Amino acid sequence: MRIKNYTLFVILLIINIITTNAQKCNYSLSGVVIDSSNDKPIVGASIYLEGLNKGTISDFDGNFKIDSICEGNYHLDITHIGCENNQQFLEIHDNTKLRIVMNHFVQMLDGVHLLGHKAENTTQAAQNISSTNIQNNANENLSNLLGSLTGVSTLKNGSGIAKPVIHGMYGNRVTILNNGIVQNGQQWGNDHSPEIDPLIANNIKVIKGVGTLEYQGSTLGAVVLVTPKDISKDPHLHGATNYFFESNGLGNGLNLTLEKGAKSIAWKINGTLKKYGDRKTANYYLNNTGNNEANLAVQLRKQFSENWETKIYASTFNSELGVLRGSHISNLTDLTEALQKEVPFFTEDSFSYNIESPKQEVHHHLLKLLNTNKISDDEFYTFTYAGQLNIRKEFDIRRGGRSDIPALGLNQLTHFLEVKHQTKIGDDIEFKKGIQYTFTDNTNDSETGVLPLIPDYLSHQVGAFALLNKRINRWMYEAGARYNFTYQNVAAISKTTPRTIINFNNRFHNVNVSAGVRYRTLKQLHWAFNIGLASRNPAINELYSNGLHQGVSGIEEGNVNLKQENAIKTTLGLEGNIDQKWFFETLVYYQYIKDYIYLNPQDELRLTIRGAFPVFTYEQTNAQLFGLDVGTSYAFSDALKMGAKYSFLQGDNLSENIPLINMAANNALLTLDYHLPIENTFKNTSVGMEYHYVWKQNHLLTNQDYAPAPDAYQLLGFKFSTEKHFDKTKLYFYAKGNNLLNVAYRDYLNRLRYFANDTGRSITVGFRVSF
């Protein structure tokens, strides 16, 4: 028996030795690390294989090599000073060679957010906000994040409500895509922020020019792409948690992400909670300006075959936002006084998390199903369905204990279908085309007991587009066209008594075309020219608004005689690297808009049963907008870097030979960043200062608004971030300060400037743990 046991032991030992020797550990991992801005090698990048505790440094040519690697799965970390960390999951079955592209300007331009990388098959550069900047500004909403980009400002309605303004265009003229789907809701309102949690995104991009024709919605402005990171193929569970605290408003926020790239079904979950109380100016509290937020997003991916993949995305965004109590006035005498007061009515010297009327409650739900059918490496089809439900309730201060009954209740259901086809013709021509259909059902809640601000309506929109781009040596050409047909069935309530239902059947045809050319010089400079013709239908609110828009404390009146807007826009840009140290970009643009629609303040303060409010009407004119965006950065060394940007914009009402209102004031930003050389203890440690100057909007007449444009102001800020890497866990810490000198100021594009100052000093600290 012992002999048999001994024999069995020897056999198992031999099998183990054979198996061990059979496991090949002579594979190598090699490659090159490239700077995405100029395709030049990055020297001194750290390449580290977790699990094996092996690593190396890229040489003068950006090359690296790690030998004696066993077959298996590994996590690869690539880091370099001034770059965003690059993490990859690898399956090693043979000698493996990689080409790793890193954005060498992400950290250098933190706060300036210039281009910093090559355009992706387009003649006009796209501006990006990276994942690092999104996470280090977790307290900001989407519009405030976009406001850090050159040429982008924010139209605000207090501290918690904002929407982006791009080259003077906002609202219905700017299209925002949530994971590839046009965000449909009540985006027409100046007090209606985009219902998107930016913390779901890995990248936020602003595109202009020909690329905008791919998407439904207006192409007069730009398109904002909010794109979540795709689920990793890593089969292990990974995640991250991000917590922040902000002193102004005593705000707290928590974000959690979990993902696993299983072969059966890959999944990812992202959730966010935020809670703020009353904000504070330099001298007093802004009572009833808190907000609460609870968001969730789920991603699923199933690979049925090498050529067929399905992705499902679902998200829900839920917020409650207070509106400054001092912006709602009961009589004309007090309203006249409020427009001139330094401190708004109903101001109390106490902080509160309570949110009472006036306030808003918004819920936005999205479901997306995407199927991709790959025909070859150069050709594929995508089939997309998306459904959206937007629920908005606005509460006013009402008599008889009815403040808990919304004064405005809107429900919007949207269905979207799309088929796209993309292919290459030859070696240097890319062709993309698609058709889209959107159905919208917008209804008012009957429980309000108030005449609706906008009517009930049904909308059908059919669109088709085609885009073509071609490369010839250092030249790139692109052109595109889009056609839309829109049918609307509107049930409006008459403005006069007795009240009756008036039905409108609107039909609109839109043809938009755009073309561009881009040239790359031998010194890595890029010239780009774009021209486009676009039209936009008058929106439902512009045609039929009738009553108090509670969120902006104003009465808005539409005009059923409004016509389509027709515009021509040209841009000329130059960007690139003078050398490895100096990057710059500049863009000049001009846009002429025939029958431009705008909300014009009237010389009237109207007393209603709900209080006294200023009156605004939608009008049309011929207009022009032109401007200049300039940005630059200079690296004094690998550690010390400086950035600057400047934006100029002017809008003119050509029909009346007067300025256009609601145009952003000229502004400039200077940043200085220093990376501390403590890589052995902490990584990517940087400290920086920011100086922001906003000029007074002098391109206005004194009688064009209810209050004169505010004076110029300047703000000082700081930022700090660092990382600590453990075995499989990374700890990130960040801090920043805004308005450090606690300046009392008002911003021209903040609608509540009529009643109160903007927010004062605020310090934000946060940490993020990833595993």
User: What pLDDT was estimated at residue 114?
Assistant: 37
Percentage of the chain modeled with pLDDT above 90: 61
Q: Is the pLDDT of residue 382 over 80?
A: yes
pLDDT in tens, 482-519: 999 999 999 998 888 888 999 999 999 999 999 999 99
Q: Is the pLDDT of residue 105 over 50?
A: no
pLDDT in tens, 242-271: 999 999 999 999 999 999 998 889 999 999
Domains of the chain are: 2-102 (2.60.40.10), 127-770 (2.40.170.20)
pLDDT in tens, 274-298: 999 999 999 999 999 999 999 999 9
pLDDT in tens, 595-626: 999 999 888 888 887 778 889 999 999 999 99
What distance in Å separates the CA atoms of residue 497 and residue 467, rounded to the nearest whole number? Answer: 51
Rounded to 10 degrees, what is the CA torsion of 421, 426, 429, 430?
20
Once rounded to an integer, what is the mean pLDDT over residues 170-197?
90
Neighbours of 349 (CB within 10 A): 7
Q: Is the pLDDT of residue 219 over 90?
A: no
Q: Is the pLDDT of residue 241 over 70?
A: yes
pLDDT in tens, 145-166: 998 888 899 988 877 788 899 9
User: What pLDDT was estimated at residue 458?
Assistant: 98
User: What pLDDT was estimated at residue 579?
Assistant: 80
Once rounded to an integer, what is the mean pLDDT over residues 320-340?
86
User: What pLDDT was estimated at residue 125?
Assistant: 61
Confidence of residue 24 (pLDDT cuts 50, 70, 90): low
The pair phi, psi for residue 467, each rounded to 5°, is -130, 140
Q: Is the pLDDT of residue 106 over 50?
A: no
User: What pLDDT was estimated at residue 23?
Assistant: 54
Residue with tokens 């600590």: 724
Neighbours of 749 (CB within 10 A): 23
User: What pLDDT was estimated at residue 19?
Assistant: 45
Residue type, 695: W
What distance in Å separates the CA atoms of residue 291 and residue 139, rounded to the nearest whole number? Answer: 12
Q: Residue 472: left if φ>0, alpha if ψ -120 to 50, beta else—which one?
A: beta
Helix (H, G, I), strand (E, B) or coil at 17: helix
Cα 261 to chain centroid, rounded: 26
Confidence of residue 107 (pLDDT cuts 50, 70, 90): very low
Helix (H, G, I), strand (E, B) or coil at 336: helix
CB neighbour list of residue 497: distance below 8 Å, 6 or more residues apart: none
User: What pLDDT was estimated at residue 613?
Assistant: 84
Confidence of residue 18 (pLDDT cuts 50, 70, 90): very low
Q: Is 342 exposed, middle or buried (0-12, 13-18, 19+ CB in 10 A)?
A: exposed
125 vs 181, more confident = 181
451 vs 36, more confident = 451
Confidence of residue 551 (pLDDT cuts 50, 70, 90): low
Once rounded to an integer, what is the mean pLDDT over residues 389-394?
96
Confidence of residue 726 (pLDDT cuts 50, 70, 90): confident
Evaluate the CA torsion angle 303, 308, 312, 313 in order and state its sign.
Answer: positive
Q: Is the pLDDT of residue 115 over 50?
A: no
Average pLDDT along the chain: 89
Q: Is the pLDDT of residue 41 over 90?
A: no
User: What pLDDT was estimated at residue 121?
Assistant: 61
CB neighbour list of residue 352: distance below 8 Å, 6 or more residues apart: 277, 278, 287, 290
What distance in Å separates the CA atoms of residue 419 and residue 34, rounded to the nearest whole number? Answer: 35
